[in-house]
């Protein structure tokens, strides 16, 4: 049914259908029928049809939601970009292409999304720049997390605390910077479906001192005021915003974001 449509129209139509699928009204696509997308900059992505992969492509490549208050074309130095919530690579891949001197670390706990992330990294020949980890980022201290796959089968997943420390593989922010010898984090991006606040609370003042910029997508369980307070107390200027302000399309991008930077 997509044969005569442009790829941008296919992506946008799939966005609408993924929202329909989320409410289980009916399913128009099987997840094993992938979509392929190539951006105007030549970035290549394999996506799952009928889920929310199209939404993140539009959010990151078309609307540049995470880059609203930052320059998406160059880094201030050759530090590390850390991507917590890597999904299928719609943030880390353009970040690596546009910040050629930076090293990119991306963390994605969902195995299905992680496999697509790795394929997309290879398709864009970025294996030397991006290091993917099939891990959830935790607040440390031996905390166990469980991965909840969205019941509507639309590609969403959430991490939640559990009493079982071996439920899924995790890593703390402290372990990320120690294990990867991170001396300077040019940009920290966090989008982990409601677990943003516990991660930020676990970062010490010393660890915050190596971070130049942050962008955090705040979901339902995140305490936005607490996140803002943490960032301000660690020397950041902040700006809260939405990908599209005052638009009927906010059904797709209604989670607030917080950009943070140093003077």
pLDDT in tens, 113-146: 999 999 999 999 999 999 999 999 988 866 656 6
Domain range 65-261, CATH architecture: 3-Layer(aba) Sandwich (3.40)
How do residues 165-213 score in pLDDT, each as one tens digit?
A: 446 788 999 999 999 999 999 999 999 877 899 999 999 999 999 999 9
pLDDT band at 52 (very low <50, low <70, confident <90, very high): confident
Name 167's Cβ contacts closer than 8 Å, sequence gap at least 6: 144, 145, 146, 147
The β-bridge partners of 141 are: none
DSSP SS3 for 238: strand
Q: Where are the domains of the chain?
A: 65-261
Helical segments of the chain, H only: 7-22, 53-57, 92-98, 111-123, 173-179, 196-202, 205-208, 224-233
C-alpha 193/C-alpha 134 separation (Å) is: 16
Of the candidates 213, 199, 194, the one whose C-alpha atom is nearest the C-alpha of residue 256 is 194
Q: Torsion angle, CA of 215/219/225/228, rounded to 10 degrees?
A: -10
Q: Quote the pLDDT of residue 164.
A: 54
Q: How many CA atoms lie within 13 A of 220 on its CB side?
A: 3
Q: Which residue has the tokens 């302000």?
A: 245
Mean pLDDT over residues 149-158, rounded? 49
Q: Quote the pLDDT of residue 263.
A: 84
Name 3's Cβ contacts closer than 8 Å, sequence gap at least 6: none
Q: Quote the pLDDT of residue 238.
A: 97
How do residues 16-42 score in pLDDT, each as one tens digit?
A: 666 655 544 444 544 556 889 998 889
Name 257's Cβ contacts closer than 8 Å, sequence gap at least 6: 65, 66, 68, 215, 216, 217, 218, 240, 241, 242, 243
C-alpha 106/C-alpha 86 separation (Å) is: 5
Mean pLDDT over residues 67-96, rounded? 84
The β-bridge partners of 136 are: 170
Round the average pLDDT of the chain to a whole number and report it.
82
Entry pTM: 0.84
């Amino acid at each position: 049914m997509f044969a005569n449509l442009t790829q941008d129209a296919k992506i946008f139509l799939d966005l609408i259908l993924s929202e329909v699928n989320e409410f289980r009204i009916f399913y128009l696509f099987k997840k094993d029928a992938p979509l392929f997308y190539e951006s105007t900059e030549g970035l290549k992505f394999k996506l799952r049809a009928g889920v929310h992969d199209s939404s993140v492509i539009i959010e990151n490549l078309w609307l540049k939601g995470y880059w609203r208050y930052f320059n998406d074309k160059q880094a201030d130095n050759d530090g590390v970009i850390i991507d917590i919530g890597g999904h299928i690579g719609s943030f880390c891949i353009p970040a690596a292409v546009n910040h050629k001197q930076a090293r990119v670390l991306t963390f994605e706990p969902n195995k299905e999304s992680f496999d697509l992330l790795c394929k997309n990294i290879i398709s864009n020949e970025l294996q030397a720049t991006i290091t993917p980890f099939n891990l959830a980022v935790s607040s440390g201290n031996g905390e166990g997390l469980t991965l909840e796959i969205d019941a509507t089968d639309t590609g969403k997943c959430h991490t939640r605390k559990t009493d079982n420390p071996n439920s899924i593989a995790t890593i703390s922010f402290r372990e990320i910077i120690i294990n990867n010898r991170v001396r300077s984090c040019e940009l920290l991006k966090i989008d982990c479906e409601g677990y943003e606040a516990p991660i930020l609370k676990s970062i010490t003042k010393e660890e915050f001192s190596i971070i130049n910029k942050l962008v955090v997508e705040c979901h339902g369980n995140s305490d936005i005021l607490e996140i803002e307070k943490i960032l301000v107390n660690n020397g950041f200027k902040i700006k809260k915003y939405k990908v599209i302000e005052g638009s009927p399309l906010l059904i797709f991008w209604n989670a607030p974001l917080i950009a943070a930077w140093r003077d």
